[in-house]
């Protein structure tokens, strides 16, 4: 099956610092892929380049065989690692903005997910806890019918009780025609839903593998393998 999301020789430098160094990978539709690595390994930089927020120094990202462009932004649903909406907005304002901005946005689906999480549409974003803000942004992101979902630390500020709901939300709101890539350091929580993993280290792809194959080869969980590979 053709890749829906791929990188070729992707490099990003900030002055003398190299955040990404010749990254290559390919992700096919229907896959839920964990982008794993310690802080500073290049995960957020990779996702920002893929979402069109940063320009690479060299190499390329292709989404649906197309370099990052207006088209790829229209078919990619991106969850940033921090709040990207004005804090004076209410949840209803945010829903209306997404509805106006994205033709693939499903407003009733977003409203239902927000209600499930007890997020009041009249609540201002600035008055929400960090965890509630992240849950709201995830609901908005997953209410699009995108070809590619890029989620940067979707569980980062969320309490353990809400993680199962969020994982269920992620699992049930993308189709087999789409791919979903999420970065996380909470591997034990997310491992059960992953099809594949991409390990980043010092801006390079250390390994890309199917989760079942990795478990069979190593005889241990992805979380245990991660701790072994990245131990200090």
> Tens of pLDDT along 168-216?
878 877 778 899 999 988 888 888 889 999 999 999 999 999 999 999 9
Pick the closest to residue 137 from 160, 118, 161, 113 (CA basis): 113
Question: Quick one: pLDDT at residue 188?
Answer: 85
Mean pLDDT value across residues 127-155: 91
- pLDDT surpassing 60 at residue 222: yes
- Of 100, 99, 119, the closest CA to residue 108 belongs to 99
Give me the pLDDT at residue 170, please.
82
Q: Which two tokens stand for residue 170?
A: 């992620």
Query: Which residues fall within 8 angstroms of residue 216, CB to CB, at 6 or more apart?
Result: none
Are 29 and 177 in contact by the 8 Å Cβ rule? The answer is yes
Reported as a single tens digit per residue, the pLDDT across 16-67 is: 999 999 999 999 999 999 999 988 899 999 999 999 999 999 999 999 999 9
What's the rounded Cα separation, in Å, for the pair 216 and 53?
38
Q: Which of 8-12, 102-106, 128-132 has the lowest mean pLDDT?
A: 128-132
Average pLDDT over residues 128-154: 91
Q: Is the pLDDT of residue 128 over 70?
A: yes
pLDDT at 135 over 60: yes
* Across 213-230, average pLDDT: 92
Distance between CA atoms of residues 215 and 225, nearest Å = 9
81 pLDDT band, cuts 50/70/90, is confident
Alpha-carbon gap, residue 218 to 131, rounded angstroms: 35
- Retrieve residue 179's tokens: 């791919």
- The predicted pLDDT at position 232 comes to 55
Q: Measuring CA to CA, how many Å separate 3 from each of 21, 26, 27?
A: 21, 6, 5
- Which tokens go with 27? 């992700």
Per residue in 84-120, pLDDT (tens digit) is 899 999 999 999 999 999 999 999 999 998 998 889 9
CATH superfamily of 5-229: P-loop containing nucleotide triphosphate hydrolases (3.40.50.300)
∠136-72-42 over CA atoms, to 5°?
Answer: 70
pLDDT digits (tens, 9 = 90+) for 154-167: 887 677 777 787 78
Distance separating alpha carbons of residues 87 and 63, to the nearest angstrom = 31
């Amino acid at each position: 099956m053709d890749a829906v999301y791929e990188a070729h020789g992707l490099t990003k430098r900030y002055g003398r610092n190299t955040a990404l160094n010749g990254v290559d990978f390919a992700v096919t539709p229907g896959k839920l892929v964990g982008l794993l690595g310690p802080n500073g390994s290049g995960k957020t930089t990779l996702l920002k380049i893929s979402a069109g927020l940063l320009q690479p120094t060299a190499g390329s990202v292709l989404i649906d065989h197309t370099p990052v462009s207006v088209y790829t932004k229209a078919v990619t649903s991106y969850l940033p690692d921090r709040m990207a909406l004005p804090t004076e907005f209410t949840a209803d304002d945010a829903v209306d903005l997404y509805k106006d901005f994205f033709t693939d946005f499903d407003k009733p689906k977003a409203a239902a997910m927000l209600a499930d999480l007890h997020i009041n549409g009249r609540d201002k974003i600035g008055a929400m806890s960090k965890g509630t803000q992240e849950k709201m942004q995830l609901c908005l992101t997953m209410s699009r019918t995108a070809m590619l979902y890029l989620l940067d630390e979707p569980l980062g500020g969320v309490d353990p009780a809400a993680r199962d709901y969020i994982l269920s939300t992620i699992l049930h709101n993308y189709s087999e025609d789409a791919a979903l890539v999420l970065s996380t350091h909470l591997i034990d929580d997310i491992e059960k839903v992953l099809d594949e993993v991409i390990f980043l280290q010092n801006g390079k792809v250390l390994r890309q593998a199917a989760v079942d194959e990795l478990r069979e080869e190593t005889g241990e969980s992805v979380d245990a393998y991660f701790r072994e590979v990245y131990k200090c």
